[in-house]
Amino acid sequence: MCGIAGMVDGRSTADEKAELIGRMLKSINHRGPEASSFFIEDQICLGHNRLKIIDLSEEANQPFHYEGLVIAFNGEIYNYIELKVTLQKAGHQFRTSSDTEVLCAAYMEWGENCVDRFIGMWSFALWDKQRNKLFCSRDRFGIKPFYFYQIGESMWFGSEIKALKLIHGFNFELNTAQLNRGLAFGWVENEEQTAYKHLKTLPAAHNLVWENNRITIKQYWDIDLQNIKKSSLTWEEKKETFKSLFMDSVKLHSRSDVANGICLSGGLDSSAIASAFCNLYPETKIKSFTIFFEGAGKVDERPFVREVVKKYPNVVPYYYEPKANDVADLWHSAAYQSDVPVWGSSHLAGFFVMRLAKENGVTVVNDGQGADEYLGGYLHSIYRILGTKIGSGKFGQALKLLNGVASRENFSAGKKLDFLAKGIASAFSDEDMMLQLEYRKYQPLLQDEMSIHVAKKPGSKLDNFLYHLIFNTTLQPILYFEDRKSMQYSIESRVPFLNHQLIEFAFSLTDEDRISPKAETKYILRESVKDILPYDIYARKDKKGFVTPGEVEWLNGPLKHLLDIDYKKMDWINAQVAKKTVDEYKAGNIKNAALVWRIACLDYWLKNFN
């Protein structure tokens, strides 16, 4: 795990490039504090900060040179050992045991199509001297960041926005449409758009090629809902296949020349990863890290974590409860590292998890992100199945599903009616219409129409919803902050659920395989790993998420200064509505606490980082 930066710039001298790349790398030194270097040749400059994970030798430092190629690479190719065997048979020779060298040899053998063979997370820039071509790529799910900025025929790129802001002539014009999506939904980016109008992000599963002073961007992979056939396997065979793919993914994600750790919440996803690891490596000690909050109405998952520890004694648990002074002390550095407004307090709490891991000597952690997005882990996934049943006239099945979720979640009569209403809305709306309806709830505060539309995909309403959760809505901001909070502490965060082979299989399943007729979410995961999970975690049907006291307790306590808002800086939104919302919150009405948090954090970002 590392940080990259670089440029294609025919106007600057070598000394000017060296001065700029030095400052860019310094600004993201936290991503790789163990080695830093750069390469300059004519108009090309590649820079790299290294965090040593695989092949700890100096010979594996970057920018890495390989038979006329130079690469700056951030990430991991988890199946590099298998690829290396294939490449050796094809005649390629290796001087290191790094995945970086395997990546270069794969490009030599298969060209730009090499990325089709990778299982991993990556963003890289590879200079092909012979072809005078810069080949850049980002992993299938956007786990690792890649930003680029153009002025004429020149291009700069880097792992974090703060590095690109150092470019002479950087245009700080805000992308107010994107900031509005942040206020409404907590989105950080969308497609190639960022918080700055002229700064772009390379979308997930895309390659960028600079050649002959032109940039070409192409998508190399997608979840093909048009052609994915629904599995003909029996339920038992589906469970067996899912478990095999999941265990293989955990095994691949455990490859490292430094110790692994686990972010353990006590929920199904992280507990499944911990249980899988302990079954694969029963003699290996692994540290787990858990943040908790004690007190009435707060979430404390330690009882469930202790069930994992009790079943698997090789898990060594560490717990931490952030106090008010901790929140106050961490706030500014976390806000700075985030590069965008901290759109939710759960993101801030995540920094404490990574700090706990760092303090206890761990450099690699495995985390549970991704499962909710493609296995139907969120309650609003059930709206889509409810809508499908209503739309097809299966009212008895719809009622059974509604009663199942209402009983499990202890819905009030009003909540049950609201849930039914949203199911009915889903019956007569596609995902784009549902998104636009949700956005309209924030009028007249935002004063504009939603300018992003999501495409209708083949398949069921649930398939459409889950697809957009992965690429357009929920998962992308989660991965953004997962990267920033881990890299602040020079930690590599891995996400075993985001393996494309596992996800492609999941989309071949029926709706009922993922959400049972009794409204059990992530049904295939729960049932496939039942034999290795602690029973109390298998039996959990509630979905807590990473709930913090931030929007109420922190914002009224150690972060109360954030409520001193300069509404003039947000001149594209309705300042009167914003002020009224915040004033009501100050008076004790916490109904819109999440929105107030986002308004306050936007104000802090505008004051301090622009």
The model's pLDDT over 216-263, given as tens digits with 9 standing for 90+, comes to: 999 999 999 999 999 999 999 999 999 999 999 999 999 999 989 999
DSSP class of residue 198 equals T
What residues have CB less than 8 Å from 444, skipping those under 6 apart?
574, 577
Q: Give residue for tokens 């494309």.
A: 500
Tokens of 403: 């009663």
- Percent of the chain whose pLDDT exceeds 90: 94
pLDDT at 171 (0 to 100): 97
pLDDT at 347 (0 to 100): 95
What whole-number distance in Å separates Cα of residue 168 and Cα of residue 174?
A: 17
pLDDT range class, residue 106, cuts 50, 70, 90: very high
Predicted confidence (pLDDT) at residue 546 exceeds the cutoff of 70: no
What residues have CB less than 8 Å from 416, skipping those under 6 apart?
402, 406
pLDDT at 544 (0 to 100): 61
Predicted confidence (pLDDT) at residue 196 exceeds the cutoff of 70: yes
Tokens of 348: 């801030």
pLDDT at 545 (0 to 100): 60
**CATH for 235-374+474-538, among 3.40.630.10, 3.40.50.620, 3.50.20.10, 3.40.605.10?**
3.40.50.620
pLDDT at 78 (0 to 100): 98
Interval 48-64: pLDDT, tens: 999 999 999 999 999 99
Smallest CA-to-CA distance from 178 within 159, 158, 198 is with 198
Spans of all domains in the chain: 2-219, 235-374+474-538, 379-471, 558-608
CB atoms within 10 A of CB 108: 17
Predicted confidence (pLDDT) at residue 166 exceeds the cutoff of 80: yes
Which strands, in side-by-side order, build the sheet including 64-66?
64-66, 69-77, 120-128, 133-138, 206-211, 214-219
What whole-number distance in Å separates Cα of residue 415 and Cα of residue 397?
A: 19
Report the top-level CATH class of 2-219.
Answer: alpha beta
Predicted confidence (pLDDT) at residue 540 exceeds the cutoff of 90: no
Q: What is the rounded average pLDDT of the residues 138-164?
A: 97
Is there a shared CATH topology between the 2-219 domain and the 235-374+474-538 domain?
A: no
Smallest CA-to-CA distance from 125 within 158, 171, 165, 168 is with 158
pLDDT at 1 (0 to 100): 66
DSSP class of residue 33 equals B
pLDDT at 541 (0 to 100): 75
Interval 499-532: pLDDT, tens: 999 999 999 999 999 999 989 999 999 999 999 9
Strands (E), 222-285: 260-263
Of 89-98, 384-393, 403-412, 485-494, the range with the lowest mean pLDDT is 403-412
Which strands, in side-by-side order, build the sheet including 315-320?
315-320, 286-291, 260-263, 364-366, 492-494
Task: Work out the burial of residue 60: count CB atoms within 10 Å of its CB; fewer than 13 is exposed, 13-18 middle, 19 or more buried.
Answer: buried
Whole-prediction pTM: 0.96
Phi, psi angle pair for 565, to nearest 5°:
-100, 135
Q: What is the rounded average pLDDT of the residues 10-35?
A: 97
